Amino acid sequence: MTDYLDEEVDEEQKKVIVHHLADCVDCQTFMMTAKKTVNEPFGNVESINPDEFLWHKIKRMIEAEKQRQNKPTIGILSMIRDRSRILIPAVVMAVVVIVVIWTDIITFKQSSFYKKETTDLSQETFLGLNSDMEDESVEHALMKNVNFQTAIEEYFL
Amino acid sequence: MDDIPEDIIIKASKGDIDAFEFIYKAYSKPVLNVAFRIVDNMVDAEEITQQVFLTIYQKLNKFQFQSSIKTWIYRIAINCAINYVRRISRERDRMVEYSEGLYSQSTVGEIEEHMNREEREETVNSLLKVLTPDQRACIVLRNIEGLSYQEIAETLKININTIRSRLKRAREQLLALRKKVMNDEL
């Protein structure tokens, strides 16, 4: 329907639609309603001519734009403004890099500290167990008067 | 409103104000009308027209002659108008004040003509109001500006089938509105 109303159908399709409309009363009614509602109101619209002042206003804006573009950039403010275009992204980038490196260092330190702590603890536990075992075996040997065949043993015994 | 000669566009892109005035004279009317139909307010439409021509002036040196200048200008106008509608959601009714001012100075014949025109305008505005800004753009370009589907597709930079479906949905909504109005009248 849309294509037919806008005459965007090819000759072949147009023939088929026209042929169908000739026989179908419902479609004829629908098409007439559609034309009346969808096409006709917009066809009667009057175009508005722009006022002369509008061009003068635009012309003034263009001239102001031209002046702004041609204005030489001098002074501290313009220097800061020009440099800030490069400096601001560079500073942001540097901050991001520092934060990333700092986070990495902290994470690495924490993980290595944890590793060291775990290793120390296991060594201590291991040594502690051994020393207990040693003490026990020495005590046991003394009680049972076992001869270890050492010089110090001879001295004490 | 045919396409503008290439040398005029090139001159205007280099800052030649007379060449730019030529472009303005050729396209200010359709730009203003498209903007008015989309924003439904003459003051805003004029503001959009200014914005459109300032944008054209600034971007003309980037125009690469791959599409027609006509569809390029329509695209800028449609984008500006749709953005404007989306940005400003509050209702304004300056046209009523304008109309009231006109009645006070007119003869009977003029008033009748004015009323007919007003009625037609009102019908069109009420029809356009039920549509989304995208659908409105399609209807305005097709039914008021008389662009082909291909030209609308180039203007809005979307597929021709999307144009078809937007127009179809818009018209279904307009028909539904008519049905509702008729039922209410009964």
Block mean pLDDT (10 aa), chain B, length 186 = 81 90 94 91 92 93 86 94 80 47 51 66 85 91 92 93 93 87 72
Helix (H, G, I), strand (E, B) or coil at A9: coil
Query: In the predicted model, is pLDDT for residue A73 greater than 60?
Result: no
Is residue B74 one of the residues assigned to a domain?
Answer: yes
B175 touches A at CB < 8 Å: yes
Chain A residues whose CB is inside 8 A of the B124 CB are: 41-42, 44-45
Q: Can you give the three-state secondary structure of chain B, one letter per residue?
A: CCCCCHHHHHHHHCCCHHHHHHHHHHHHHHHHHHHHHHHCCHHHHHHHHHHHHHHHHHHHHHCCCCCCHHHHHHHHHHHHHHHHHHHCCCCCCHHHHHHHHHHCCCCHHHHHHHHHHHHHHHHHHHHHHCCCHHHHHHHHHHHHCCCCHHHHHHHHCCCHHHHHHHHHHHHHHHHHHHHHHHHHHC
The span from the CA of B167 to the CA of A91, in Å, is 51
Looking at the predicted complex, does its ipTM rise above 0.95? no
* Residue-number span of the structural domain to which B35 is assigned: 6-90+131-185
Is residue B64 one of the residues assigned to a domain?
Answer: yes
In this prediction, residue A120 has a pLDDT band, given cuts at 50, 70 and 90, of low
Residues B54 and B72 in one domain: yes
pLDDT tens digits for range A47-67: 889 988 999 999 999 888 888
Residues B151 and B83 in one domain: yes
B149 touches A at CB < 8 Å: yes
Chain A residue whose CA is closest to B167: A2
Residues B56 and B79 in one domain: yes
Interface of B with A in 74-103 (CB under 8 A): none
Overall pTM > 0.95: no
Is residue B118 one of the residues assigned to a domain?
Answer: yes
Q: Which two tokens stand for residue A103?
A: 């986070």
Q: How many domains does chain B have?
A: 2
Interface of B with A in 23-82 (CB under 8 A): 24, 28-29, 32-33, 36-37, 42, 46, 49-50, 53-54, 57-58
Residues B10 and B101 in one domain: no
Residues B123 and B137 in one domain: no
Residues B38 and B82 in one domain: yes
| Shortest alpha-carbon distance between residue A84 and chain B (Å) | 24
Chain B residues whose CB is inside 8 A of the A50 CB are: 28-29, 32, 46, 49
Closest in B50, B144, B148 to A54, CB measured: B50
